[in-house]
Amino acid sequence: MSDTPSSPPQGKPPALPPDDVLQALIDQRLSMAETESAWQALAQHPARAAEVRAQQADRLALQALHTEVLEEAPPTVLQATLARAARRQQSWRSAGRWAGMAAAVLLTFGAGWWGRGLQHAGGSHELALDRPPGRQFSAQASVAHAVYAPEQKHPVEVDASQQQHLVQWLSKRLGRPLKLPDLQAKGYALVGGRLLPGDTGARAQFMYQDAQGQRLTLYLGALPPSPAQTPGAGQPAAAPAPLAGFSFSQEGPVPSFYWVEGDFGYALQADLPRQALLDLALAVYKQL
């Protein structure tokens, strides 16, 4: 009898991650590397992967219900206070004094109103928070929808009859495999898609239409890094951020729900009520 130890069985799928790891994945508490590792393991367990996606979508839906709080204009009193702070900023030389005031305002009113209040008060660009890449991405998606959705003869470059070619072509141009959500259950059929330019390369737009002619578009592509992710001189590059929750935006011509996974953004837009658009965005998210 040979003493050579037997090799492990070939082709055995990776073990399902422990429940605490899956819960951390749902709650977006894993690092990018841990998130990728967990999804790779889940790819061998489709039923459990679908459950995790559904739970993650439910969590994002709850987050999306409260985004209107950050979209509200700050109280008039706070706007006036922030305006005075902006005017006086140039005369302040003590970093400690400014940091103390900023901390007090943030603790009192919250970071969301602080950023929005500076914009409403017309403060210095040094005080105003930079526009997040996700919001800019969503606004661009909304404009693209407004340009192409009304088109009757040429709404897309490649129509639904060439679906496989469409996905392969756009996957190649965007540099990653894309999935085409099926929205038939929601009453929307694929019209087709097109290639569009973006800030950091190619973007894709998929268009759908219901029986009444209502169109919606899914816009996707890589995002530029946010200022917080851009390393300074001599500093290592920051890891991409994990999944960011659904956000609602009305900055463009039509409303949009958008979300970001790593350095890749997704935005779904249509001239629909907020809840109807959220339901469709969740249906798309569960299939990606």
Consecutive sets of 10 residues in the chain, 288 residues long: mean pLDDT of each? Answer: 48 76 77 76 81 72 54 56 58 48 43 40 38 82 94 94 96 94 97 92 96 96 67 48 69 90 91 93 90
**Strand, helix or coil for residue 86:** helix
What pLDDT, on the 0 to 100 scale, is given for residue 86? 58
DSSP 255: -
**Strand, helix or coil for residue 215:** strand
Q: What is the pLDDT of residues 150-206, one digit of tens each?
A: 999 999 999 999 999 999 999 999 999 999 999 999 999 999 999 999 888 899 999
Ramachandran assignment for 118, one of left (phi > 0), alpha (psi -120 to 50 degrees), beta (any other): alpha
* Cα distances (angstroms) measured from residue 73 to each of 66, 82, 123, 133, 257: 15, 13, 15, 21, 20
Q: What is the pLDDT of residues 89-111, one digit of tens each?
A: 555 444 444 444 444 444 444 43
What pLDDT, on the 0 to 100 scale, is given for residue 78? 55
What is the number of alpha carbons within 13 Å of residue 220 lying toward its C-beta?
Answer: 26
What pLDDT, on the 0 to 100 scale, is given for residue 251? 80
Q: Walk me through the domains of the chain, giving residue ranges and CATH numbers.
A: 19-62 (no CATH), 70-121 (no CATH), 131-225+240-287 (3.30.200.100)
Q: Which residue has the tokens 């969301």?
A: 112
